[in-house]
Amino acid sequence: MINKLTNKILVAGLTVLLLASVPVAFADSGSGNDDVVTAYFTLQEDGQFVKGNDSEGTVMALVPVTVSYFPLDDYWLGNYEYTDGDGNIVETPTVLHLLLTVLEKYYCPGTEIKNDDDSKAMSLTGSAGSSYFKTFWGHDENFMYFLNHKFPLKPDSDSIGATSDEIPLENDTIVEVSMFTDWNFYHEGAFAHFSEDDVLSEVGEDLTLSLMAAPTFPGSISKIKNAEIRVFDKVPIGPMTDVPASEITTDANGNFTYSFEKPGTYYISALINDITVDWGGQLRNFSDTANTTSPLCKVTVVEKESIPVHRVTFMDDDGTTVIGTVNVTDGGTYRSIPFP
């Protein structure tokens, strides 16, 4: 759910008007009856991945987090329980359960957190279905979060945003939280992502991905061209400008192709500040104040033919433009983020 933007909209009394123009839909939430769910959590501040305060110093990028249901009364949040149509509590983990789990494990490990206590971990106000974070991860209310690279909407609405307490958490959901310094981020920022989040590739094989972004202001997902690609052997920390370029940029369709010479685990990101994007005929420029999240794709590279794989190619609507290629092992699955 949008945090700072929601506040501004409510003050202006334009909630439905603004959110109605967001064409993306919240991913299917299912029945929400799973007892234990594993989701993937990413946290950034001004376009940089944040390190956890745990002993391992976990970089919060696609971190798998296992979440079970627990009574929200334990956190002084009993009035935010997820309920059915009759007002009965549904004992299933929600996005709020995920956020609380992340805070206890990575922000203040070993410490019990309570709503609005001295830990500054979180401060939640409002009511069920209209909750609002004034503090998260010690940061002020100036942040936003996306689910599966999309603005989260109420499951039965194409115009009203969903809050974390009313979103049942599905397995493999990607939850991205981005904190900002610039209080105008929602006018010009974006959540950037690749067509794939986690892929398998073989040594010497061409891997093609597409780079796109969903704006923090109402608008549609767009391809990002002329972005400089960055390749790492671990999740990057610090400004993308501090890393040598790979001499690869996205083309007019937001695509790029790269191959790896050695097996291992790699991470692909991009430098996208000062890139101009056309959103529905309106040009927007990602400012140098880091109002855009950094995209990330984890790539596992194996020796050629070391395991049975099948290559899958994704095409754009024109039927000729490649927007992504992935390898799938025999009997394996992959997680694909659909291109709009």
Distance of alpha carbon 100 from alpha carbon 301, whole angstroms: 34
3 state SS of 202: strand
Distance of alpha carbon 22 from alpha carbon 218, whole angstroms: 5
What is the average pLDDT value for the chain, to the nearest integer?
80
Same fold, 4-181 and 195-329: no
Q: How many CA atoms lie within 13 A of 136 on its CB side?
A: 29
pLDDT recorded at residue 212: 92
Which one of 78-92, 216-230, 304-318, 322-336 scores highest in mean pLDDT?
Answer: 78-92
Confidence of residue 5 (pLDDT cuts 50, 70, 90): very low
pLDDT recorded at residue 266: 96
Does the pLDDT of residue 208 top 50, yes or no? Answer: yes
Average pLDDT over residues 233-257: 86
Which single residue is written with the structure tokens 């056309």?
A: 278
Domain boundaries, the chain: 4-181, 195-329
Distance of alpha carbon 160 from alpha carbon 144, whole angstroms: 15
Cα–Cα–Cα angle for 99, 220, 181, rounded to 5 degrees: 50
| Identity at 299, one-letter amino acid code | V
Which single residue is written with the structure tokens 């109002």?
A: 291
Residues 6+ apart with CB under 8 A from 117: none
Return the CATH architecture of domain 4-181: Beta Complex (2.170)
Average pLDDT over residues 106-135: 88
pLDDT recorded at residue 317: 65
pLDDT recorded at residue 85: 84
Residue of 16 and 50 predicted with greater confidence: 50
| Among the ranges given (17-26, 73-82, 243-252), the one the predictor scored with the smallest mean pLDDT | 17-26
Residue 74 burial (CB count, 10 A) = 12
Average pLDDT over residues 165-189: 90
Average pLDDT over residues 203-213: 93
pLDDT recorded at residue 21: 26
| Among the ranges given (128-132, 136-140, 205-209, 284-288), the one the predictor scored with the smallest mean pLDDT | 284-288
Distance of alpha carbon 17 from alpha carbon 15, whole angstroms: 6
Does the pLDDT of residue 244 top 50, yes or no? Answer: yes
Does the pLDDT of residue 55 top 90, yes or no? Answer: yes
The CATH number of 195-329, from 1.10.3470, 2.60.40, 2.30.30, 1.10.10, is 2.60.40
The percent of residues above 90 in pLDDT, for the chain, comes to 49
CA dihedral 17, 18, 20, 22 (to 10 degrees): 170
